[in-house]
Structures are given as C-alpha cells and as structure tokens.
C-alpha cells in the first residue's frame, strides 16, 4: 500500500481506462473533485467514466461536464482503475461495490476525511485539506496536467462549498492561495455565487421555517438541535440540496457550540448531521454512534425515529459540554 502523492499521480498517468466515483448525494466538493480530475484526464487522452448513485443537482450544471456524470447501476462493469473522491470508504458511493466487484482493480483513494479507511491500492488522504478539491489540485500538478478555466471552476466550487465559502476554520492559507490561483486561471465565481449562494429553493425555505419551529436549545445555550420528521420528508420530498446547509441555521445561533439536525430518512431510520463552532469534536461524537466525518462537521445514521435519535445523542452531547465546562473552570 502506497500513500504518497507521487505514486498516486504515477498510477493515474499509467492508467488508460478509469472510473471516477463520487459519494452519494453529491455535494460541491465530491462533484468538483470528480469533474476536475475527470476533465483533466480526458484532455490527456484517457478514457474516463464518471459515476454517481444519484442525479447531479441542477444547481451544479454550470460546472462543465456535470451533465456527463452517469448514474451507476449494478449491471455496469468497472474499468481496471477506479478512483474514489471524497469517500471515506467505497460503500459511501451508495451502490453495490463488494470486494468481489473491486477485486483485481487498482483502487485510488483521494480524500480529506480524518475517518478515511485507507482502502485504496494508492491512498492520497490529507485530512488537513479544507476541501478534497485541494488534494485534487495537487494531484493534477503532480501529473503535470494543465488547469483550464473549466477545471479551475470545478476545483473552486469544492473549495468554496466545503469551507462555508472560505469562512470555516478548515481554511488554511494554502486553501486561499489555491483559490486565488484558480481565480487567475478563470474560475467562474459569478456563476458559483448566483447558482449556489443566491438561489435558495422554496423547499429549502419551507424546511428552514419547519426546523426553526422545532428548534430546541439546551438551558446553557450551547447545544441546539432540531428535526425533520419522516412524515415531513415524505410530504415535501426534498432533494439533498434542499437539505444541505440547513443545519447552519441552528449552528449560527449565538452561544451555540454543537448543533444537530435530525431527519427521518425512513420510518425507523434517522440521519443526524452534527456541527461545532469552536472546541467540540463532532467527529468523535458521531464516532460514538458509528458515524464519522470531520472535527467541525460529521454525520451518523441511527436506527430509530427522530425522537429516538435525539434522545440518544442529546445526553452524550450534554455530557461533553459538561466535561468541557468543568475543565474550563479548573
Ligand atoms: Mn469534502
């Protein structure tokens, strides 16, 4: 198993038939990674297919190649080289990728999640990168492939969307330097602003009203949570993009350190999205219940309805806040 950038770049340079797979419910970073890498490899003469389980949201169509992502079905045959971008593990792709399906393939794992399982033949995992597109940028440079304006836009989308538009503490000076270079290379930041930040869907507004109506804040004001019932999910049928970022509405409340949004994805299955602001490690909290992600943003899936999930996670969160307050007082 080899870890470094040079080996990852070399493996890609030597490959001819390549599939690039993004995680289910693709966000700007996994999609930006997939489209930037895919386009650069195609332009260097390789045969590349882009797979995702889900349809790409329309708001991402301004990124060149977004309409070329194919919805994967289990009957499809994977080429010899399979690249996973922004995926902690192959299962995150959301389709049936068993060991048998992947046997004999060269697996390339390019990711920035601390909880990445290092499942690749080649792993380029840098968890300090604010966005995986930052890692893709380095892979392209290591391969010596040019960054066209289309590729710059794709990479910039990942950098922007995974960092709260360059606001969160996962932004490093390097993130900003790369963003500046991408802007110089022609990244279309106007389309990004209009399509991703100034086009809130009506369903998202409906959900915002709903979660504010269901908002709970702990007595000390440090833990805020809300939920979207399975019934509401069924009635409204939101896209994943209608849900993305909703949690910020409750995280951004003054004094809140940990925010959780519970949503009933099935009658007895709840997805919890966790966020923190300053000190809390929500990767660790999600890990206690079998989930994971980043220090400031993580997720976990719970068997049970939203009330059950809230009752399960709530005491753990409050205990962590209590311990932190106690340590502060000493
Ligand atoms: Mn990411």
Mean pLDDT value across residues 293-321: 96
- Is a pLDDT exceeding 70 seen at residue 2? no
- Is a pLDDT exceeding 70 seen at residue 166? yes
- Distance from C-alpha of 263 to C-alpha of 271, rounded to nearest angstrom: 5
Instruction: Specify whether 260 is located in the same domain as 321.
Output: yes
Domain count, the chain: 2
Instruction: Specify whether 244 is located in the same domain as 303.
Output: yes
* Domain boundary pick from 143, 167, 197: 197
The confidence band for 1, taking pLDDT boundaries of 50, 70 and 90, is very low
* Domain boundary pick from 197, 219, 236: 197
Ligand 1: centre distance to CA 244 (Å): 13
Instruction: Specify whether 37 is located in the same domain as 154.
Output: yes
What is the CATH number for 180? 3.90.1640.10
Ligand 1: centre distance to CA 151 (Å): 17
What is the CATH number for 215? 3.10.310.30
Ligand 1: centre distance to CA 23 (Å): 10
Q: Give the pLDDT of residue 3.
A: 54
Contact 131, 167 (CB under 8 A): no
Instruction: Specify whether 25 is located in the same domain as 166.
Output: yes
Mean pLDDT of the chain: 95
Contact 258, 223 (CB under 8 A): yes
Instruction: Specify whether 78 is located in the same domain as 34.
Output: yes
Q: Domain containing 154: what range?
A: 5-197
Closest among 116, 160, 109 to 134, alpha carbons compared: 160
Ligand 1: centre distance to CA 289 (Å): 21
Q: Give the pLDDT of residue 241.
A: 83
- Is a pLDDT exceeding 80 seen at residue 53? yes
Ligand 1: centre distance to CA 228 (Å): 24
- Is a pLDDT exceeding 90 seen at residue 14? yes
Residue 102: its H or E element: helix 99-102
Mean pLDDT value across residues 165-179: 96
Q: pTM for this structure?
A: 0.84
Ligand 1: centre distance to CA 209 (Å): 27
Instruction: Specify whether 282 is located in the same domain as 177.
Output: no
Q: Give the pLDDT of residue 96.
A: 77
- Distance from C-alpha of 265 to C-alpha of 52, rounded to nearest angstrom: 20
* Domain boundary pick from 158, 173, 197: 197
- Distance from C-alpha of 16 to C-alpha of 321, rounded to nearest angstrom: 51
Ligand 1: centre distance to CA 183 (Å): 20
Ligand 1: centre distance to CA 329 (Å): 36
């Amino acid at each position: 198993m080899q870890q470094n950038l040079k080996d990852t770049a070399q493996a890609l340079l030597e490959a001819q038939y390549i599939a690039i797979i993004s995680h289910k419910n693709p966000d700007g970073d996994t999609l930006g990674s997939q489209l930037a890498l895919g386009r650069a490899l195609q332009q260097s003469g390789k045969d590349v297919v882009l797979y995702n389980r889900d349809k790409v949201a329309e708001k991402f169509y301004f990124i060149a190649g977004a309409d070329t992502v194919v919805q994967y079905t289990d009957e499809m045959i994977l080429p010899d080289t399979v690249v996973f971008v922004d995926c902690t593990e192959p299962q995150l792709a959301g389709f049936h990728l068993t060991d048998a399906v992947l046997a004999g393939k060269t697996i390339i794992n390019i990711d920035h999640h601390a909880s990445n399982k290092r499942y690749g033949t080649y792993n380029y995992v840098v968890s300090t990168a604010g966005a995986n597109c930052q890692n893709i940028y380095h892979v392209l440079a290591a391969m010596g492939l040019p960054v066209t304006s289309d590729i710059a836009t794709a990479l910039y989308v990942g950098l922007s969307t995974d960092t709260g538009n360059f606001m969160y503490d996962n932004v490093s000076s390097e993130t900003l330097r790369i963003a500046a270079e991408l802007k110089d290379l022609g990244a279309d930041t106007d389309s990004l602003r209009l399509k991703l930040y100034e086009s809130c869907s009506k369903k998202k507004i409906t959900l915002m009203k709903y979660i504010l109506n269901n908002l709970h804040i702990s007595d000390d004001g440090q833990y805020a949570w809300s939920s979207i019932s399975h019934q509401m999910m069924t009635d409204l049928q939101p896209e994943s993009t209608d849900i993305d970022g909703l949690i910020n509405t409750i995280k951004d409340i003054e004094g809140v350190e940990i925010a959780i949004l519970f949503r009933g994805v099935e009658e007895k299955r709840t997805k919890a999205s966790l966020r923190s602001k300053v000190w809390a490690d929500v990767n660790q909290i999600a890990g206690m219940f079998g989930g994971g992600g980043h220090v400031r943003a993580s997720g976990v899936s719970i068997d049970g309805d939203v009330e059950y999930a809230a009752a399960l996670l709530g005491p753990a969160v409050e205990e962590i806040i209590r311990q932190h307050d106690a340590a502060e007082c000493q």
